[in-house]
Amino acid sequence: MFTFEEYTKNMEKFTSQNPFFSTSSVDSVLEFNSKLSKIALDTFKKNAELSQEWSKETLNALENLTKTQKNPSDYSKVINDFITQQTQSSPKHLAELAEIAKKAQLDTIDLYMTAGKEINEEMTKTAKKTANKTVVTTSE
């Protein structure tokens, strides 16, 4: 039967003998995840701030709709003003949301490209070290 201790010993042996699995590679993954999480969190914060600003603007514009008007035609003017204000502000806010998404996308692509280059360099170094340590024996 395969025990937990045997499994642990085999994993330790595997990781110590595998040149591509080291504490530096684990640290690299953790650092990458941290940077990716920061991009996501910053994007969420900016998105929330913009949504809150847009909501406040809309609610302030709705205040005029709650006021009593003297003439029925004044109600149509107030509604028309609200619709006009929303029509003018919506494209601005949507463009800002698009910019936030675009920045997050570019930052993520840059992070992946940088990580790819670093991984490629690390694998090349490790492969060269491993190749230099390899001893070729001939059988007689």
Q: For all residues of the chain together, what is the average pLDDT?
A: 85
Mean pLDDT for 94-120 is 94
Per-residue burial over 47-64, b if 16 or more Cβ lie within 10 Å, else e, is eeebeeebeeeeeebeee
In the prediction, which pLDDT does 21 show? 62
pLDDT value of position 18: 65
Q: Which has more confidence, 5 or 99?
A: 99
pLDDT band at 39 (very low <50, low <70, confident <90, very high): very high
Residue 98 placed within a domain: yes
Tell me, yes or no, whether 106 lies in a domain. yes
Which of the 8 DSSP states describes residue 2?
-
| 73 lies in some domain | yes
Greater pLDDT, 54 or 7: 54
Are the beta carbons of 62 and 78 closer than 8 angstroms?
A: no
Mean pLDDT across the stretch 115-135?
Answer: 79
Identify whether 109 is part of a domain.
yes
Count of domains forming the chain: 1
Domain membership of residue 137 (yes or no) is no
Tell me the H-state helices in 18-133. Answer: 23-66, 72-133
Instruction: Indicate whether 23 belongs to any domain.
Output: no
Summarize pLDDT for 50-79 with one digit per residue, the tens: 999 999 999 998 988 888 888 888 888 999
CB atoms within 10 A of CB 35: 16
> Is residue 70 in some structural domain?
yes
SS3 state of residue 14: helix
Does 22 fall in a domain? no
Q: Domain residues for 106?
A: 34-113
